[in-house]
Amino acid sequence: MKQSLKLAAFLFLAQTMSYAVLTYNYRAIAHGNLYGALVSDALNATFSFFVIKRIAKSDDALVPWMGHVLGSLVGTWIGMHL
């Protein structure tokens, strides 16, 4: 269980950053900010790669999933306020 909570915390933080960057990316595209869109696209792809790699190694699914989803929600909220 301790390992699942550690993974959930990692996924929460990774998804928070990922969704903040993704939300910023959508805003950059909407405003025609090419460089902002390209940089945020690369960051989001990097976060996604490491999250998928980490999830593939986990045995437990429920607790890490909760961290993943909650991080998505918080990341969107942060991205909308950048």
**pLDDT score of 75:** 84
**pLDDT score of 29:** 92
For the chain, residues with pLDDT lower than 50 are none
Q: Is 11 helix (H, G, I), strand (E, B) or coil?
A: helix
- Determine the Cα–Cα distance for residues 34 and 28; give it in Å rounded to an integer: 7
**pLDDT score of 79:** 80
Single pTM value for the model: 0.71
Residue count of the chain = 82
Q: Which residue has the tokens 């690369």?
A: 42
